[in-house]
Structure 1
Amino acid sequence: MGCLISSMACCIGSAACGCISSCCPTMRSSTTSRIMYSGILLLMTAISLIIRIPGISEQMKKIPGICKEGKYQPITGGLVSCEDLGTYLFVYKVCFPVALFFFLMSIIMIEVRSSKDIRAPIQNGFWLWKYLIVIAAIIGSIAGMPDSFAYPWMIIAYIFAFIFIIIQLLLLVDFAHTWNETWLDNAENKDRSWMCGIVFFFSFNFVAIIAGNVLLYVFYTSCDSNGLNIAVITINIILCILVSVVSILPGVQEHNPKSGLLQSSVISLYCTYLIWSGFAADPSGCNPLNTNSTTESDTAADHNSNIAPTLVGIAITFFVVLWSVLQTSSSNYSQKLGVGGEEGALLGCTGTSADGGSDDIEDGKPRVYDNEEDGVAYSYSFFHFMFMIAVFYLMLVLTDWWNATTDSLVSGAFSKTSLWVKITSSWICYAIYCWTLAAPAMFPDRDFGYA
């Protein structure tokens, strides 16, 4: 009971202690704040996924007061139109207020330098109110957002989602380098068995890459107009081989000795996924998963979406978000982007005065302490911008990059734009990774932070 009361006090108040202060190990306020904001992102995704489970929306229609027959009856007849419940348009209405919340937080937190700033408590406290505001805003958006807003909202989402994909690529490249470097250090300084782990994972990744590209050839080149698909898959295979060879070249190894096949296998596997998800969103006859058609009913069309690419995309997005929140490396891309965790964030902290806390933490009293009195551990404003564009990206992933036209709001039609966004993104990812390999050799006097 004491734990619950303490947590509720932190949620309601402005103290930078978070809702988990008295129940979890000692942590920094900068870390707990990012975890709590990740919870808002998770809440939005969970609502969107649950409502799209086949049969859930039909069951919800039976609940009195949930939906109204017809789209333009007064709101008092229900929160949302029964025709919209469970469709892609419904996902747009759920995501809109969450993106707006992070946008406003990004504006409010511009130029916050330390926890002594008068705006800092807004960042690190009032968690109960924040969650209640977001939930209330989602309900209001579902009830009041006009259908005609979907198309301009989609255009905005495409722009910011592409930006998020680029940042996501940077963070994934950072993850690949950090993973390999950490395990190599463990193999050299602790136990050689860590090297077996590296061999296992890069072997597993390369088997998955080969199998994935073979399956792409089998399932996505059986149509008459298969020239584009064959070319894209072939280019992807060539690039997989190219980055693998480059990663073990003597010149690259000389300036970046921890470069290896594990990083290249992670990048190649992710790029192969991008190609697959792009093909899965292709409206042409070359897509065997495309069961949508303009003759199908609105709700049925939405429920025939390709769930596998959607779930994988969501999982990767949350992994990247959590990596940027909880990773421990202090010299990497995510730190330079302003979203990375400070040293020790993933493992908690000692709580000693030298670490920014106080010695009484060592008495076994877990709490969240303020570690940002002398300066923030990450850019508050850019952090919220990152989460805002992550909302846009998740919204498009959850709706299969839906083409929201004003005359076909719930058609479930796929967009060719998604195919080219994914293909282009995979090529950019290869280019970014190759740059991380070549840059130390080209500019040996510069510190790139990942070598």
Structure 2
Amino acid sequence: MVESADQPKEATLVEVKLSDDMTVNPGEQFEQKSYENLVKRKKSLLARYAYAMIFLIINLIAWFFRDYGEKILPLLLYSKACRIGETGCFHTLGVLRVSLGCFIFFCTMFLTTCNTSKLYQARNTWHSGWWVLKFIILIISLVVPFFIPSDYIQIYGEIARIGAGVFLLLQLLSVIEFITWWNNYWMPDEKKKHSCSFGLFMSTLFYIASVCGIVLMYVLYTSKASCTLNIFFISWTGILLAVMMVISLHSKVNRGLLSSGIMASYVVFLCWSAIRSEPATAKCSPQTQGSGHGGWTTVIGFLIAICAIVMATFSTGIDSQTFQFRKNDIQLEDDIPYKYGFFHLVFSLGAMYFAMLFISWNLDSSTRKWSIDVGWASTWVKIVNEWFAATIYLWRLISPVVRQTKVMHHEEPVQGV
């Protein structure tokens, strides 16, 4: 018998029978599961700030061992690993020992969370909880390096140079990806119906800031005609700015001025930072104009630099999407909000990076108090980083054109046949 179309259909409520006197509504069960996933997601997001705070505290511990450890912790001088009467646990080696402890901790976290993908997995609970146990592991990780002979710590220092370089590369790719995203977001789009006025305003602002930065560096750091190295650094930075602007406006590229303007400001900042890292003994170094004895400006600059290290590590660690091959995967409700393994891997590399900044990339000499990332090694690392950043950005601009040209040349013979 066929029911008429006008006959109302009775709504049925599906119930799952658990026992004789208890039933559960599937809708309520789904809501409860969603709520549990939401709570776990919030814990996971809060956990990353806890790890960043741990990283900040370890940075301060490394600074303490470098500048004041020898006076406040003299008992460590009697350790065999620290060499009696020497500074094997302070200054440069002290920083490397603390850095190694930080590396061990975050490397352990990386190995125990690298395959986590869902919020209901036990590894997610380990990443977001068990803080007492992780605190014990952290203490052990920081103590163990002080019993390792100094020769092995020197070897770790050499490895840390490579790890710090890898960290700089990851950070650079993350910055360029962010610049690309911002440019795509504010570019005029018919689908999004965005106004390009804000994008034009920001691109103009960034280019004005970049040009002003170039002029200001010429005024401050090339007061003498003999400052040829600074003149070269600044002039080459200006050339890179012009090249990026011309290529981004080329008809075949047509990327607009916003991304190149942001990148220009970043390149100018790297150049300024490199010149500021020149040692005080250099005749054109800006360090010679300061007291260099830990004035309040030096202390504030030092603390800002440490916070910048933590922020750079944190922002790179949570940006795992930049380094994924499949970026269009749909985020499910029970998926973790960020890749835990990559997050801890970046922090382990960040441990090597902050060690290099504290010792100015030099394993053989100690840096002065309240200084960070000062020396010719630091200067050249930043200059190379600047040139590398510009090279990667320019390649990302022209690579689509190069690929398109290759495809066209490959298709022409096929069409001829």
**TM-score for the superposition, normalised by structure 1:** 0.64
The C-alpha deviation readout for 1:5-45, integer Å capped at 9, x for no partner, is: xxxxxxxxxxxxxxxxxxx9974857853652453233332
CA displacement at 1:90 relative to structure 2: 5.4
Match of 1:425 among 385, 389, 397: 385
Give the distance between the partners of 2:329 and 2:300, measured in 1 at CA. 36
Q: State the match for 1:129 in structure 2.
A: 133
Equivalent in the alignment of 2:110: 106
Residue identity matched to 1:160: G
CA–CA separation in structure 1 for the residues paired with 2:45 and 2:329: 12
Matches of 1:84 and 1:27, distance apart in 2? 48
Residues 182 and 51 from structure 1, CA distance in 2 versus in 1: closer, same or farther, beyond 3 angstroms? same
The residue number in structure 1 matching 2:304 is: 311
Give the aligned partner of residue 351 of structure 1. none
Trace 1:40-439 onto structure 2 (pairs within 5 A): 40-46=51-57, 48-49=59-60, 67-69=72-74, 72-73=77-78, 91-109=95-113, 121-135=125-139, 137-138=141-142, 140=143, 151-184=154-187, 189=192, 192=195, 195-222=196-223, 225-253=226-254, 259-283=255-279, 284-290=282-288, 308=301, 311=304, 314-315=307-308, 318-319=311-312, 321-322=314-315, 325=318, 333-336=322-325, 355-356=332-333, 370-371=334-335, 380-397=340-357, 399=358, 401=360, 403-405=362-364, 408-409=365-366, 411=368, 414-439=374-399
Shift of 1:176: 0.5
Q: Do the aligned residues in 2 keep the contact of 1:95 with 1:395 (CA within 8 Å)?
A: yes
Higher RCO (C-alpha 8 Å, min separation 6): 1
Q: Percent identity?
A: 25
Residues of 2 paired with 1:123 and 1:425: CA distance?
A: 33
Which residue in the other structure is 1:364 paired with? none
Q: Report the more deviating stretch, 312-321 or 97-106.
A: 312-321
Alpha-carbon distance between aligned partners in 2 of 1:51 and 1:232, rounded to the nearest angstrom: 32
Structure 2 distance, partners of 1:276, 1:25, is 49
Aligned in 2, Cα 1:134/1:34: closer, same or farther, shift over 3 Å? farther
CA contact (8 A) 1:292 1:301 kept: no
Supply the distance in 1 between the matched residues of 2:146 and 2:319 (Cα, whole angstroms): 36
Q: Whole-Å Cα distance in 2 between the matches of residues 287 and 25 of structure 1?
A: 57
| Cα drift, residue 130 of structure 1 | 2.0
Q: 2: CA distance between counterparts of 1:133 and 1:415? A: 35
Amino acid at match of 1:425: N
Q: Which amino acid aligns with 2:311?
A: F
How far did residue 238 of structure 1 move? 0.6
Which whole-Å CA distance do the structure 1 matches of 2:199 and 2:164 have between them?
32
Deviation of the 1:173 alpha carbon: 0.8
Question: Structure 1 regions of 5+ residues with no counterpart?
Answer: 1-23, 62-66, 76-80, 254-258, 345-354, 357-369, 447-451
Pairwise CA distance, 1:123: 3.8
CA distance in 2, matches of 1:50, 1:117: 34
Q: Distance in 1 between matches of 2:368 and 2:89?
A: 14
Partner AA of 1:371 in structure 2: D
Structure 2: which amino acid aligns with 1:196? S
Q: Which has the larger radius of gyration?
A: 2
SS in 2 for 1:423: helix
The code of the aligned residue for 1:273 comes to F
Per-residue CA deviations over 1:64-119 (Å, capped at 9, x if unaligned) read xxx344752479xxxxx9x9999666554443322111222334455566667775
Q: CA offset at residue 323 of structure 1?
A: 5.9
Q: Cα–Cα, structure 1 residues 427 and 34, in superposed 2: closer, same or farther, change >3 Å?
A: farther
Q: Which one-letter code corresponds to 1:311 in the other structure? A: I
Output the CA distance in 2 between the equivalents of 1:341 and 1:415: 43
> CA separation of 1:440/1:99 partners in 2, compared to 1, >3 Å: closer, same or farther?
same
Q: CA deviation at 1:121?
A: 4.6
- Per the TM alignment, residue 433 of structure 1 is displaced from its structure 2 partner at its CA by 0.8
Q: CA offset at residue 415 of structure 1?
A: 3.5
Residue identity in the other structure for 1:216: M
* Aligned residues between the structures: 361
Compute the RMSD of aligned alpha carbons: 4.6
Distance in structure 2 (CA, Å) of the matches to 1:203 and 1:442: 28
Whether contact under 8 Å (1:92, 1:395) holds in the other structure is: yes
Contact 1:88–1:402 (CA<8 Å) still a contact in 2? no
Residue 91 and residue 248 in structure 1: after superposition, are their counterparts in 2 closer, same or farther (change >3 A)? same
Superposed CA deviations along residues 148-195 of structure 1, whole A, max 9, x for unmatched, are: 766444322221111111111111111011112123368963553xx3
Q: What do residues 354-385 of structure 1 show as CA deviations (whole Å, max 9, x unaligned)?
A: x43xxxxxxxxxxxxx426xxxx765544432
Q: TM-score, normalised by structure 2?
A: 0.68
Tell me, yes or no, if the aligned pair for 2:52 and 2:310 is still in contact at 8 Å: no
Q: Distance in 1 between matches of 2:138 and 2:248?
A: 45
Match of 2:44 in 1: 33
Tell me the residue number matched to 1:13.
none
Aligned partner letter, 1:155: E
Map of 1:443 onto structure 2? 403
Structure with greater proportional helix content: 2
What secondary structure does 2:362 align onto? coil
Q: Do the aligned partners of 2:278 and 2:375 also contact (CA within 8 Å) in 1?
A: yes
Shifted more, 129-138 versus 263-272: the winner is: 129-138
